[in-house]
Structure 1
Amino acid sequence: MKKKILLLSALAIFLGNSLNAVANKDVLIIANGADAKTLDIHATNDAPSAKVSGQIYDTLVKQDMNMNIVPGLAESWTQIDDTTTEFKLRKGVKFHNGNEFTANDVKFSLDRMKSSPQVAHIIKAVSSVEVVDDYTVRVKTETPFGPLLSHLAHNAAGILNKEAVEKGGSGYGQSPVGTGPYKFVNWQAGDRITLTVNPEYYLGKAPTEKVIFRSIVEGTNRTIGLETGEVDIAYDIDPVDKNMVKDNSGLELIEEPSLSTTYIGFNVEKESLKDKRVRQAIAYAINTQDMVDAVYQGAAERANSSIGPKVFGYNPNAKSYDYNPEKAKELLKEAGYEKGLKLKLWTNDNPVRRDIAVIAQDQLKQVGIDVTIETLEWGAYLDGTARGDHDLYILGWVSVTGDADYGLDPLFNSANRGGAGNRSFYSNPKVDELLVKGRSSVNPEERKAYYYEIQDIVQEDVPVLTLVYPTQNVGEQKTVKGFQMHPAGHHKVYGTYKTK
């Protein structure tokens, strides 16, 4: 009880005047699990940033709640040949700065995306973007590319305004301009990002005038914010707090399967982790069922692959590492670490990941691996793992496109080592070759065969140990209506409103 009182007091100070805003039905306050890194969609590919930037930008095509491709800024598209897709653009769409949206903006945005180390891998199959006229653009790929439309629906493929980007310069990520339902107002770093409604949105003005994204790192504080009425929607309720939401008559908990994974990654360039037997030993030493039960409270499924069952190309027969500490000790002995070794495990300030780290630390100790846990702020964590400063690290990945190419290529293609996604610095020429074959084919069964083989190789090499497929959730006030949780986790709040 004392702990909860202290948390309530801290939250009241932290949220300041939020109660007045929540009482206003024209203001929607959303608790995000971390502050955005940047709102320049080409400078990052993290989920907290995407949850905000997804309200500001639009993409050529979108994925509905069933992951079907539907029109976005492109009202229609035609497959001209195996490598060329022509898009007809909507007329009369305006950017938040008043400029009209045209094909030149599409070319500028996709060309800029291709030159970004953080997100170029998403559309690296694209060889050129050609402007036919103001409202027609052709996207060409080097070879046939099956998942092109899914990749163009990715948040990072949002359309930017050239003038705004050039005017913003190095600070553009703090003054973004898109065509989306909400416009950027201001950003109080570490606290809140405020958006206001775009009255000229092409689908019609959103019903809520203002949206405020609050950075509330501690999951319990997000839940308490719901209980006290200081936030309207809280993303990612910690499993241990779910009943607090369920048992509150004024709140609602929404839970659905997701496209995400949680994994422990290995920096394979570190001397002690170069030998796959060490990585396999760690995999055998960790009991993922303990994490499902204790950390996720059952709201997750043990993983056997780096992509989950809801993703196209998932291999149900990929190698699963069942808990076997004796096997772990045997492998460590074979690798020359009979007397054990010392490693550092990085995590960011995410309570679920911290709990996973503690369990992993204890289990690895049983086989002679001495693990030190280091917790970093989100931005420093992403920068450090991109440089390769770590030994072990905990992260999640969302196969946003619903396709194996996006679930596997960023994490395991040697071309993506570092900030683009492959923070394990893994390199396997056979995997690189199969990834190219998988994305170049337009035959679904052929693509599946390539992706099955990749998953077999990766599970054997273990550059990452995928722990679980978590269920995603959101807590909300019952006065909130119209909110839908997207399978990819990048929820849109267009259409969301409060009844009072």
Structure 2
Amino acid sequence: MLVAGVLALAAAGCGGDDDDGGDAAGTTAAETDGDGEEGGGGGTLVFGTSADPVVLDGALVSDGESLRAIDQMFEGLVTLSGGGTDIEPALAESWEASDDGLAWTFQIREGVTFHDGEPLNAEAVCFNFDRWYNFKGALQNPSASYYWQTVFGGFAEPEEGSPEDSLYESCEATSEFEVVLNLTKASSSFLGALALTNFTIASPKALQEFGADEGTVDEDTGFRPTGTYGTEHPVGTGPFQFESFTRGDRLVMTRYDDYWGDKAKIDELIFRPISDNAARLQALQAGEIQGYDLVEPQDIATIEGDENLQVLDRPAFNVGYVGINQSTAPLDDVKVRQAIAYALNRQEVVDNFYAGRGEVAHQFLPPDLFGYADEVTEYEYDPERAKELLTEAGVDMPFKVTFCYPTDVSRPYMPDPQRNFEAFAASMNESGFDVTPKAAPWSPDYLGMVDEGNCPIYLLGWTGDFADPDNFVGTFFQSPQKAWGFDNQELFDKLDEAESETDEDARIGLYQEANQLISDFVPGVPYVHTQPALAFAACVEGYEPSPVSLEPFSIVSLEGC
């Protein structure tokens, strides 16, 4: 089959970040002397983020703020339709799969250059894929190469604790602008996964020159890069190019005038980390920034009532959950995990903290995604039932347990993590538990703690990267992970079968069966699906919210800001 335009398989974006605080004072939408012919309009747009990027290298991050920034400077073989999840051409103009689904041939776009002037060609594409496949040492840590491991699995030389089986077999540059990606098995979600920002193509010259693969692993917080590529020299092919990055203050990008496609309409794009929700709103009202994401639900009425501001809604495509790590007894006992599920007053949290923009989640899939089960085991808030289960498990009450939550961050599925934690801790303390809080800055500390398996119970969530169940339940539960701490071969096999199945109806049935298994096994407790909102100055035009949270700023213009 030859696919050159839209493939209705799907694809969407993720969740996480690090921040030193940072206020937004001192930066406004500046006039520039750009003539507008290259991009149209010119000017500087300042966007308030909830945290700094961790590092500007898609292969080494899993958090939303990093991916948002990387998405402006880098491109993959395929991308998503504006505001949707259909797959469209990007650096590949067309692609064709072999009859057995094991070989995918991509025709690479000609005339594209990286920001350092190096040409894009088939060899550059294969260099990137082979780089990821040949990660060694610290780069095989899941806190570094999380997405490679969840999509493609193992490495060329897997080290102890790394996955051994790989979906990826090889990349062949069969001509200057033709690439063949060879897989070890057919995958129904492979093409959608290629739309992920994590698999965007970087300049081979810059990767090598600036130590992209240099880094260490901290025992508590995971991977930390030590080279300068991802903080000072990221080089892609996108409509914006890197200018500077001062952690805790700003990331500056400028329009790339040699971009192969439609040039960016603004001259300069600045991301400012402002961790506090109220401070982001105040910065917008004062004109210090022109937009921000993750609007607090209770602030929407205030923004809508200001004629100088506007609210944009992002389609719902996420899940917030309480994760449970089974590597520590007695959390490996399903009755204890069921007790936790009954002890969480999810309805109260959704009613009090989401201002009508959330619904209680009972599955790890969004309700509109295929594979969502009609019926699963549900756990309504029931303190007495929680106590009964703890007694049946032989656990003395109150059961002391550490509950982790992040600080200095807002996510679409948890605008204020501390409030969610406090409410859940209170309901658990009424249900036979004695909760000990453990807080840490979102990234890299909190994400690293979770990924390294150092949080018994924790708050986290997910915004979809592409519209396939594999990107939700497959990402979480298809293989052993330190964050969850379990080895359930029945569940792994069911999700493997569902990913490989090519018949649509059969796939739906397999994912429904998997969701029932997950609900009974209780690896964690999903509690909310939300419809996030963004806020902008009224003079900002063209911003197109996406269900995956990764929107191009190149199409945005400033009209009278």
The secondary structure found in structure 1 opposite 2:210 is helix
Deviation sequence 1:45-78 (CA, Å, 0-9, x none): 1111101111111011111123111110001111
8 Å CA contact 2:314–2:549 kept in 1: the answer is: no
Query: Which of these residues, 454, 462, 466, is aligned with residue 401 of structure 1?
Result: 466
Residues 413 and 427 of structure 1 are in contact (CA less than 8 Å); yes or no, is this contact kept in structure 2? no
Q: 1:265 maps to what in 2? A: 323
Match 1:123 to one of 136, 152, 176: 152
TM-score, normalising length: structure 1: 0.93
- The 5-angstrom pairing of residues 343-358 of structure 1 reads 343-349=401-407, 350=409, 352-358=416-422
Residue 180, structure 1, aligned to residue 180, structure 2: no
CA drift at 1:303? 0.8
Larger mean CA deviation between 108-117 and 190-199 belongs to 108-117
Of 417, 432, 436, the residue aligned with 2:496 is 436
Higher relative contact order (CA 8 A, sep 6+): 2
Preserved CA contact (<8 Å) 1:22 1:229: no
Matched residues in 2 for 1:109 and 1:166: separation?
A: 11
Q: CA deviation at 1:223?
A: 1.2
Alignment of 1:242-257 (within 5 A): 242-257=300-315
Aligned length: 484
Paired amino acid for 2:499: R
Q: What residue number does 2:4 align with?
A: none
Bigger drift between 365-374 and 466-475 goes to: 365-374
Superposed displacement of residue 337, structure 1: 2.2
Per-residue Cα deviation, 1:335-383 (whole angstroms, up to 9, x for no partner): 1224221112111113521111010011001112111222211211111
Could you tell me how far apart the structure 2 residues matched to 1:20 and 1:491 are? 20
Partner of 1:302: 360
Alpha-carbon distance, 1:485 to partner: 0.9
2:394 matches 1:375: no
2:84 is the counterpart of 1:29: no
Q: Is the deviation greater in 66-75 or in 138-147?
A: 138-147
CA RMSD of aligned residues (A): 1.8
* 2:522 matched residue in structure 1: 462
**Alignment pair present for 1:73 and 2:91:** yes
SS at the partner of 1:316? coil
Separation (CA, whole Å) in 1 of partners of 2:441 and 2:384: 36
Whether contact under 8 Å (1:412, 1:426) holds in the other structure is no
Question: Which position in structure 2 is the counterpart of 1:334?
Answer: 392
Does residue 139 (structure 1) correspond to residue 196 (structure 2)? The answer is no
Relative to 1, partners in 2 of residues 1:230 and 1:152: Cα closer, same or farther, differing over 3 Å? Answer: same
Assess, with a 3 A threshold, how the Cα gap between structure 1 residues 195 and 382 changes in structure 2: closer, same or farther: same
Do the aligned residues in 2 keep the contact of 1:307 with 1:399 (CA within 8 Å)?
A: no
Match of residue 4 from structure 1: none
Between stretches 342-351 and 373-382, larger displacement belongs to 342-351
Q: Name 1:86's counterpart in structure 2.
A: 105
Residues 113 and 119 in structure 1, CA contact (< 8 A), matched pair in contact too: no
Q: 1:22 to 1:394 in 2, by over 3 A?
A: farther
Q: Quote the offset at 1:102 in angstroms.
A: 0.6
- How far apart, CA to CA, are the structure 1 residues paired with 2:418 and 2:395? 26
Match of 1:445 in 2: 505
Counterpart in the other structure of 1:7: none
Secondary structure of the structure 2 residue equivalent to 1:273: coil
CA drift of 1:22 comes to: 8.4
Contact 1:113 1:157 in 2 (8 A): no
Partner of 2:59: 42
Q: Quick one: structure 1 residues 84 and 229, their matched pair in 2 at CA, closer, same or farther if it must change by over 3 Å?
A: same
Secondary structure of 1:106's aligned partner: helix
TM-fit CA distance, 1:409: 1.9
1:95-106 equivalences under 5 Å are 95-106=114-125
When you count helix as a share of all residues, which structure comes out higher?
A: 1
Q: Which residue of 1 aligns with 2:550?
A: 490
Offset, 1:432: 1.1
- Which has the larger displacement, 309-318 or 133-142? 309-318
Residues 18 and 328 from structure 1, CA distance in 2 versus in 1: closer, same or farther, beyond 3 angstroms?
Answer: same
Alignment match, 2:27: 18
Q: Distance in 1 between matches of 2:119 and 2:501?
A: 37
Q: How far is the alpha carbon of 1:13 from its aligned partner?
A: 8.9
Shift of 1:91: 0.2
Contact 1:309–1:316, Cα closer than 8 Å, also in 2: no
CA distance in 2, matches of 1:386, 1:427: 16
Question: Which whole-Å CA distance do the structure 2 matches of 1:311 and 1:193 have between them?
Answer: 35
Out of 394-403 and 105-114, give the one that drifted further: 105-114
- 1:244-264 per-position Cα deviation (integer Å, ceiling 9, x unaligned): 211111111112332211111
- Give distance in 2, aligned partners of 1:252 and 1:180: 28
The offset of 1:326, in angstroms, is 1.6
The secondary structure found in structure 2 opposite 1:494 is helix
Deviations 1:165-213 (A, max 9, x none): 0111022211211001111111111221111111111112110011001
Q: What SS does the aligned partner of 1:55 have?
A: helix
Q: Secondary structure at the residue paired with 1:42?
A: helix
Q: CA deviation at 1:20?
A: 5.8
Q: What amino acid is aligned across from residue 285 of structure 2 in structure 1?
A: E
Q: Supply the distance in 1 between the matched residues of 2:287 and 2:23 (Cα, whole angstroms).
A: 14
Tell me, yes or no, if structure 1 residue 426 matches structure 2 residue 426.
no
**Letter matched to residue 271 of structure 1:** A
Unaligned runs of 5+ in 1: 1-11
Cα 1:472/1:316, change in 2 over 3 Å: farther
> Does the 8 Å contact 1:412/1:427 carry over to 2?
no
Q: Which ranges in structure 2 are unaligned for 5 or more consecutive residues?
A: 1-20, 34-41, 154-166, 212-226, 410-414
Q: Separation in 1 of the partners of 2:28 and 2:89?
A: 38
Q: Is the 8 A contact 1:315 1:455 kept in 2?
A: yes
- Counterpart of 1:365 in structure 2 is 429
Partner of 2:220: none
Instruction: Pick closer, same or farther for the CA change 1:301–1:93 going to 2, 3 Å.
Output: same
**What percentage of residue pairs aligned between the two structures are identical?**
28
Could you tell me which amino acid in structure 2 is paired with residue 132 of structure 1? T
Q: Is this contact kept in 2: 1:361–1:371, CA < 8 A? A: yes
Conserved in 2, the CA contact under 8 Å of 1:329 and 1:338? Answer: no
Whether contact under 8 Å (1:22, 1:29) holds in the other structure is no
TM-score normalised by length of structure 2: 0.83
Paired residues of 2:323 and 2:458 also in contact (CA < 8 A): yes
- The equivalent of 1:163 in structure 2 is 205
1:230-241 residue pairs with structure 2 within 5 A?
A: 230-241=288-299
Whole-angstrom distance in 2 between the partners of 1:405 and 1:454: 11
1:209 alignment partner AA: D
Distance 1:498 1:232 in 2: 9
